[in-house]
Structure formats: C-alpha cells, structure tokens
Amino acid sequence: MANKRILVVDDELAQRELIAGFLSKRGYEVLAVASGEEACEKYHTLFAPVALVDMKMSGMNGIELTKKLREINPFVQVLVLTAFGSVETAVEAMKGGAYDYLTKPIEDLEELLLKIEKATEQNSLIVDRVTMQKRLAEVFPATELAGESEAMQKVRGLISKVASQDATVLITGESGTGKELVARALHAHSPRSENRLVVINCAALPENLLESELFGYEKGAFTGANQSKQGRFELADGGTLFLDEIGEMPLSMQVKLLRVLDNHKVQRLGSVKEIPLDTRIITATNRDLKKMVAEKSFREDLFYRLNVISIEIPPLRERGGDILILAQMFIEKFVRKSGKQVAGLTPDAAQLLTSYAWPGNVRELENLIERAIVLTQSERLVKDDLAGIDQNQS
C-alpha cells in the first residue's frame, strides 16, 4: 500500500515501542513521539496520512492533538487509543475529527493494522476527491460540469474513478450537453495529461479526408501529397485521442479503427510500415449506437471495444436544479468580458429559464445568456432580455 507512513503518539514507552516496532516490520515508516507537543513540532518531517494518538497524555490530550493535526493537515486520519470502558471519550474524539478508535491495551495487532489500512485508504479517497475538484475548478471554471444535481454528481464521480485508467471511454448525450468537456476532464486528470489531447470530429470530414487525418500519409501517397504528414493517432501518441461524433464514422473506417484498437499500431497511407502507438481512445456520440448496431450501420465488435466505460451526460431539462446555477455562472462570465454591471436574473426571467425545455442544452443556455448580456440595459436580466427562448416550448 502506498503512503505507508504513520505518526504514533503515546506517553507510555512500552506501548509506543511495541506499536512502532510492529508497524516497522510491516513496512511502515513510523514517527513515534511521547507527547502532543512533540507531535506538532515534528509532524512536518513525515506528514503522515494517519496518526495513532493516545487519548490521555500529560500536557496536550488526544482531542486537542487531533484538532491541531487537522489544522496542519486537514486530510490526516486520526485513530485514537482510549482506555477500555471509555467509549464516551472516543465518541467525543470522533466528533472532533478522529476517524476511529481502539481500546487499550492493544492485544489484537492485526485489528490495529486493518484499521490503519482503512484510515490510509480514507485519506487517499479524500485527497483524490479534493484534488479532482480543485483541478476541475482550475481547468474548467464555470462550465457545463458545474451543477449540484444528482446526475452531474454521478458524472463527476465517474470522471474521478476512470480518469486515471487507460480504458476506452464512450461518452453519450445530446448535442450541447458538454461531451467534449468531459473528454477534456478525463485527459486533464489522467497520467497522460502532460501529453497531447488530440480532437477530431468524425462528422466534419468526408471519408477520404478523415482517413488521411487519422492515419497520416507518406509523400506521394495520392495526388497532392507533396510531403509526409503525421496522422492524429501519431500526434496523440503518449496522450489521448478524442473521436467526437463517432456514430458518423463510415463503416469502412470503423474496420480500420478496430484494427488500431486491436493491434495498437497505425499505418500511414502509402506506407507498409506499422507504427506502434500508446494512445488512449475516448469517443463521443449523440446517436443511439445500440440501435445503429441493430440496423447494421455500426459494427457490433467496434461498439463493444469503445463501450468499455460509458459516461452518459444528462440533458439540461433533466437537471432542473442546475439551470439557475449555470445561468449565474454564464452571467458572471460574460459580465467580465463585456464590462457591464449585471448582477443576475429577475424572478420572471428565472422562472422562464427553469420552465423551458432546452432542446439545445447547456450550449443553448450559454448562447442565450451571452446575447442577453450584450443587449440588456438593466442591472438584472429581465424576461424580455431572453427573447431567444421559444415561448411555445416553455
């Protein structure tokens, strides 16, 4: 297990040495001290994710030390040691931020080890979640990933779980829901984030151009190929390739994509040489690929290769509680760009936004707010500023 570091605080020498010796033999780096004051003084030398703290010590007691340690490291998980029969004290410590407790004297060292392992895992989960939230906020401030609806919390949770993996991801959802943004989040929080994220829209290019863009070509491969060119697969080597609108890829190209997924090699047009690749593939579509498979317009074997992990982005009409959150974020965004002083929405304007069906999803909301900020003469957006909304759909 990573992060095998622990702080042991106990003023009883025999107990302290017993625990420290046992944990050292189990591969832990142990900082063992005799008082809370010494623990605070020396904690920075190890910055352990877990601390084992005696409740009753001369000077600073366990509850006070727990609070001090959490001031230094808010993520540290504290296990308190309390005398048998003093469970009330342990409960008080847990209210003060302790993770769990054990009774003294410790007789079952395997139980101690198990609780330390669980506390270490808890530390990692919290750190990963906080890091994820900070990086999302830094890379994507005020975006479609914002919102507190259960559906969006599920999406963010999936991103957190699968970003660090190399599994192929299929992102589904209606146009305007933010599928590319999810792809960018997956890349940004992956071990590949220092390398490129290469994006190509499969619907934007005719078949012959799509093939040369993806696979590249050698000089003279076709008329106009005056020099060799790397394809998108090669450009994404070591990083991530995002194939947007994968449902629009022609069947002949689907066969070639499947071959790349199977062999992890690509062959430029006009070349017999195969180039090995280390590329993660993320795809997205607003189409029903299962239905396309049944209609024989999308390869079944490719569908299963792409759909290892599926992330479905909910339409905005199913995220009613997020509409006003997003609207306010977009107001603040375009206020900064325009220099206007617009504080928010009037009640009538807010009611109009929340009652609308949003066929264009978050992209439509963003465009509507941008237009409203440009045109408004009010300190708050009023109903008339939202003239872009089709009143028949609200």
Report, as ranges of residue numbers, the positions in the chain whose pLDDT lies below 50.
1, 139-143, 394
Cα distances (angstroms) measured from residue 166 to each of 188, 189, 200, 202, 211: 13, 12, 19, 22, 24
- pLDDT, residue 218, reads 85
- pLDDT, residue 141, reads 44
CA distance 159 to 185: 7
- pLDDT, residue 135, reads 55
Could you give phi then psi for residue 73, rounded to 5 degrees? -135, 100
Burial class (CB in 10 A: 0-12, 13-18, 19+), 291: exposed
- pLDDT, residue 142, reads 40
CA distance 42 to 297: 65
